[in-house]
Amino acid sequence: MSAGKVVERLVLLGSKGGPAIRPGGPWPSSSLLEIGGRTIVVDCGLGVTRALTDAGISLKALDLVFVTHLHSDHVLELGPLIHTAWTAGLATPVTVYGPPGTGRYWRHFCETMEFDIDIRIVDEGRPDIRGLVSVEEFGEGSVVEEGGLTVTALRVDHPPVTDCFALRFEHGGTSVAFSADTAFFPPLAEFARSADILVHEAMLEEGVERLVARTGNGARLREHLFASHSLAEEAGRIASDAGVKRLVLNHLIPADDPAIGDADWVAAVRKTWPGDLTIARDGLVVQLSGAKAARGEETA
């Protein structure tokens, strides 16, 4: 960071659950965490590159990328993000941490883009992107411990995906936990214990019923959603049991039903969580408590 001003913030880049996008609607999952001078991207759903630049991030600063699981709404734009950062001048190493299969995704992405990559190396004198990026596949437990930054992972309950991991980031006494995609999973409370922020996925029951009613394969969809995701009340329960300082509801399902607004989400969560609450929307900034800077531009 420059000029002594250290801003530590969380930006919800894409706030909807699921891969489909619609005119005027929100975008799939990705978040930016600026902590300890690191630029960290958590999940790479469609739109992550555009959203990072909208948040004022130089793509050349890309540093650490985490993928919670390989559902497309979390990984579809991983390759395009890194490739675009490379064409924007990325010349420093990027490490991608993801579940087993992430390395395969990256190798095949580079294969599909081989023509362009090879030609830019020769024609524009760029470093080989394949040498700039390293992929570390992780499981449960410690993922990163470097320069005061600690990242740990917890396998959560997201059938039929088995390699889906909640993540907890800690630096200088500040901690942010992400639930990833999960059904109600009580061990998350211990994992997120006393975190400054818990970003938890959430569904709204009445909204899901309407979503199911207007979708062709309604019964199957309903079954999947209730088996693999958490209701807003359940996210609130985890936050209460964990004693976090702020709950951020994210990966919202439904996210683009005009009949549902923040008040509906708040009403559901208030059954189980009386504390500080943020309902995510694309581009929303949450300043981290304990941030070294005196203030940021906006507090959510």
**Residues of this chain that bind Zn ion (CB under 5 A):** 71, 73, 181
Q: Whose Cβ is closer to Zn ion: residue 73's or residue 170's?
A: 73
Counting beta carbons within 10 angstroms of the beta carbon of residue 283, is it exposed (0 to 12), middle (13 to 18) or buried (19 or more)? middle
Residue pair 106/96 in contact by the 8 Å Cβ criterion: yes
Least distance in angstroms from the C-beta of 29 to Zn ion: 6
In angstroms, the CA 177 to CA 192 distance is: 6
Is residue 287 helix, strand or coil?
Answer: strand
CA dihedral 42, 206, 255, 187 (to 10 degrees): 0
Least distance in angstroms from the C-beta of 251 to Zn ion: 6
Question: How many DSSP H helices and E strands does the chain contain?
Answer: 11, 14
Residue pair 200/183 in contact by the 8 Å Cβ criterion: no
Least distance in angstroms from the C-beta of 27 to Zn ion: 12
In angstroms, the CA 20 to CA 183 distance is: 20
Token digits of residue 116 = 């362009």
Q: Whose Cβ is closer to Zn ion: residue 72's or residue 92's?
A: 72
CA angle 253, 261, 202 (to 5 degrees): 30
Which residue among the candidates 73, 163, 181, 257 is catalytic per the annotation? 73
Q: Whose Cβ is closer to Zn ion: residue 14's or residue 236's?
A: 14
Q: Whose Cβ is closer to Zn ion: residue 75's or residue 144's?
A: 75
Least distance in angstroms from the C-beta of 72 to Zn ion: 8
Q: Is 163 a catalytic residue?
A: no
Q: Whose Cβ is closer to Zn ion: residue 8's or residue 73's?
A: 73
Give the C-alpha distances (Å, rounded to integers) separating 127 from 13, 116, 117, 123. Answer: 29, 13, 10, 11
Least distance in angstroms from the C-beta of 44 to Zn ion: 12
The catalytic residue positions are: 73
